[in-house]
Amino acid sequence: MPRTTVGIIGAGPAGLLLSHLLHRQGIDSTVLERRSRDHVEHRQRAGILEQGTVDVLRASGAAARMDRQGLEHHGIELRFDRRSHRIDFPSRAGGRSVMVYAQTEVVKDLIALRRQDGGTVLFEAEALSVDGARTEHPSIRYRHQGAEHTLDCAYVVACDGFHGIGRRSVPEGGLTVVERDYPFSWLGILADVPPSCEELIYAHHERGFALHSMRSPRVSRLYLQVDPEDTTGDWPDERIWGELETRLAIDGDWTLRRGPITEKSITPMRSFVSEPMRHGRLFLAGDAAHIVPPTGAKGLNLAVADVTLLAQALTRHQAHGDESGLDAYSETALRRVWRAEHFSYTMTTLLHADPAETAFDRALRLSQLRYLASSAAASASLAENYVGFTED
């Protein structure tokens, strides 16, 4: 029967980074991923890395390609009432900034490091159940290459996302779940065209929210607020570009560049938190425990913060028998999670057009946007949260 110290479910950035961090401390792990390596390396996700995430990748030796190809950003642009307002990060958030580097590329870098180091990452290995989480020897039952296997572990970490088996393995009543659904979705596109901006543009318009981002100097990533019932078929290319031009327009010299759209997807907007993030020797991390709407660019960064904290706690326990970090993991992680949930909720409700809002609601939103654009204190709060607020 295969054995490992830490069994990790999910080969996204959280699971791979945790495995990498543990390896650097001499702790063995096995990563189980139900999808193929090709699928994992090509699924598109958010690509804004907080300063803390960048620091973790650099300290762990996982940032060489990011430092060559990533795009460091020192601010964002808010647009409303056909005017543009820049929020400067370094002057408002203690010199910190963010990095534009796609999650897809982070995953590729981490897979390459695990292979280089001889790490065990099993693709097309579907976790079926987590058993014995309350015992000293939990296990993961999984299917790989047509046969069922059991992986004996000292600890299990579920980094397998919202629909994964990890959270569902906690007995009924063991978790408290709170969530919120929003009355709109995001249509996201990738386009083979150089970005029309140097920094991200967050735009509020009476027709809905729009975001102009980028993947590289040659590839643009753009989003539109759409109805939750919409499909990509409702949005032909010409309609997408026309709506982006309308919502991003300002009174000034700026033009939206158009190009071939290579990918379209629609994502529902949801806030979700499951507490606690531990059940015996089963730990939840990333989307397995919490989801934020993407407006605040927090999902990937929360996952990195979770597994960084967990790697430190596991290292202390393995090296010194100190369980205090493991005991405090859930409470410590959730403080950061709820801060990010609040920021993401605030950005989402501030920038999107709510179909049910009143004239009073709209006036309040515009007042808050004007306050952010004119107040150093208000813009500092936004900048501090965007680059990654920590209590330390």
Element (H, E) at 205: none
Q: Is 20 a catalytic residue?
A: no
Helix (H, G, I), strand (E, B) or coil at 273: strand
Q: Is 386 a catalytic residue?
A: yes
Q: Is 294 a catalytic residue?
A: yes
Q: Any long-range contacts for 171-178 (C-beta under 8 Å, 24+ apart)? A: 171/279, 174/279, 175/274, 175/275, 175/276, 175/279, 176/274, 176/275, 177/272, 177/273, 177/274, 177/275, 178/272, 178/273, 178/275
The answer to whether 27 touches 11, Cβ cutoff 8 Å, is: no
Instruction: Tally Cβ neighbours within 10 Å of residue 178.
Output: 11
The one catalytic residue among 155, 202, 223, 329? 202
Tokens, residue 274: 């499951």
Q: Is 264 a catalytic residue?
A: no
The answer to whether 310 touches 22, Cβ cutoff 8 Å, is: no
Q: Is 298 a catalytic residue?
A: yes
How far is it, in rounded angstroms, from Cα 170 to Cα 152?
18
The one catalytic residue among 13, 20, 23, 73? 73
What is the distance of C-alpha 387 from the center of its chain? Answer: 13
The one catalytic residue among 294, 317, 329, 352? 294
Catalytic residue annotation:
73, 202, 294, 298, 386
